[in-house]
């Protein structure tokens, strides 16, 4: 019957235990350089892995510290007046302009006319 | 419990020789069966199986660890087909089916086995390549239809039918051979 398996043991290479073992040894011998290369690569990766963990932790701490410092600097800047009086004086900003700056408003046309008339007086 | 191919592949990727050796021992017979099916020469099949394992190790990172066997057998097939092309080009010597013969302890048994091997190989020679591969994987290596289908990219039903045809052809040829003797 064609459904029954054929007896192919005569061509089974593992029947000859010594020959089979030679074959396995042959493969393993030829595989050694590649296995060594892989083992060395894995060693470097492991080393990097060991070194990376504390480095990553340190980087995280630095990032947190930088973030905190930036946040604090931003809030200080926001709290400070846009044009401190000292700066206005140092730059010798004309009085009407200094007033507009202090009031934080845009001058209207008549403000400009009044300022020019006051300067001419 | 035996470790899965996937675990062994991961270990072999890191250069674990013991893991790779387990993979070799587990799949060498199947690799040999495929190579023999293509090359029809035991000595060439041994060489190609060895080459294929070394090549597979070099390319292990390309392999899906869950499908190692099918991937390995593809490498074996390609290696065997390349070897066959080279052999055709060389055509240095006629095929010697019995050159896989080993020195066994009993010379009479050795001769008997050698003759049997020769008959099997002669009966197998005219079979189409796929039939030889399926026959060897099933009847020599003991793979299931589903496993063969996955490895060779064939539907399970086709594997069954191919196996049926291969066995029938082999039985006919082996029957004729014994009638001639």
pLDDT single digits (tens) A83-110: 566 766 777 777 777 787 778 778 888 8
CA distance linking residue B42 with residue B62, whole number of Å: 29
pLDDT, chain B, mean:
86
Tokens of A53: 């963990």
A7 pLDDT band, cuts 50/70/90, is confident
For residue B103, what pLDDT is reported?
A: 47
For residue A2, what pLDDT is reported?
A: 61
On whether any CB of chain B is under 8 Å from the CB of A21, the answer is: no
For residue B90, what pLDDT is reported?
A: 62
Question: Chain A residue closest to B121 (CA)?
Answer: A11
- Min Cα distance A59 → chain B (Å) is 29
For residue A44, what pLDDT is reported?
A: 64
CA distance linking residue B7 with residue B66, whole number of Å: 9
When pLDDT is averaged across residues A33-51 and rounded to a whole number, the result is: 77
Q: Do B53 and A37 touch (CB under 8 A)?
A: no
Angle in degrees, CA B49, B171, A15, rounded to 5 = 35
Residues from chain A that touch B13, judged by Cβ atoms under 8 A, are 38, 42
On whether any CB of chain B is under 8 Å from the CB of A44, the answer is: no
pLDDT tens figures, B73-99: 999 999 999 998 887 766 544 444 444
Question: Chain A residue closest to B32 (CA)?
Answer: A13
pLDDT tens figures, B107-128: 777 777 778 888 888 899 899 9
Q: Do A27 and B135 touch (CB under 8 A)?
A: no
pLDDT tens figures, B15-67: 999 999 999 999 999 999 999 989 988 889 999 999 999 999 999 999 999 99
Nearest to B14 among A2, A13, A38 (CB): A38
What is the CB-side half-sphere exposure of residue B1 using CA atoms within 13 A? 4
What is the CB-side half-sphere exposure of residue A26 using CA atoms within 13 A? 15
Question: Chain A residue closest to B113 (CA)?
Answer: A10
- Non-local CB neighbours of B68 within 8 Å, separated by 6+ positions: B5, B6, B8, B9, B23, B27
For residue B95, what pLDDT is reported?
A: 45
């Amino acid at each position: 019957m064609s459904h029954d398996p054929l007896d192919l043991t005569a061509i089974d290479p593992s029947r000859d235990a010594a020959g089979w073992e030679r074959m396995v040894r042959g493969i393993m011998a030829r595989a050694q350089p590649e296995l060594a290369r892989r083992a060395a690569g894995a060693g470097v990766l492991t080393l990097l892995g060991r070194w990376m963990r504390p480095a990553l932790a340190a980087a995280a701490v630095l990032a947190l510290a930088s973030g905190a410092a930036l946040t604090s600097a931003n809030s200080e800047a926001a709290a400070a007046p846009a044009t401190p009086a000292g700066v206005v004086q140092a730059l010798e900003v004309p009085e009407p302009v200094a007033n507009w700056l202090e009031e934080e408003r845009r001058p209207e046309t008549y403000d400009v006319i009044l300022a020019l008339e006051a300067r001419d007086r | 419990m035996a470790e899965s191919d996937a675990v062994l592949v991961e270990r072999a990727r890191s250069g674990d020789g013991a893991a790779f050796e387990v993979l070799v021992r587990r799949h060498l017979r199947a690799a040999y069966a495929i190579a023999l099916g293509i090359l029809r020469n035991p000595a060439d099949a041994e060489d190609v199986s060895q080459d294929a394992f070394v090549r597979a190790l070099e390319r292990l990172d390309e392999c899906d660890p869950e499908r190692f066997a099918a991937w390995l057998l593809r490498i074996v097939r390609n290696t065997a087909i390349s070897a066959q092309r080279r052999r055709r080009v060389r055509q240095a010597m006629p095929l010697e089916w019995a050159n896989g013969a080993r020195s066994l302890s009993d010379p009479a048994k050795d001769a008997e086995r050698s003759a049997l091997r020769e008959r099997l190989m002669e009966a197998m020679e005219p079979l189409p390549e796929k039939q030889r591969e399926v026959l060897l994987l099933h009847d020599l290596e003991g793979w299931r239809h589903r496993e063969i289908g996955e490895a060779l990219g064939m539907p399970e039903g086709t594997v069954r039918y191919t196996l049926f045809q291969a066995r029938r052809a082999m039985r006919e040829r082996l029957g004729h051979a014994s009638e001639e003797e």
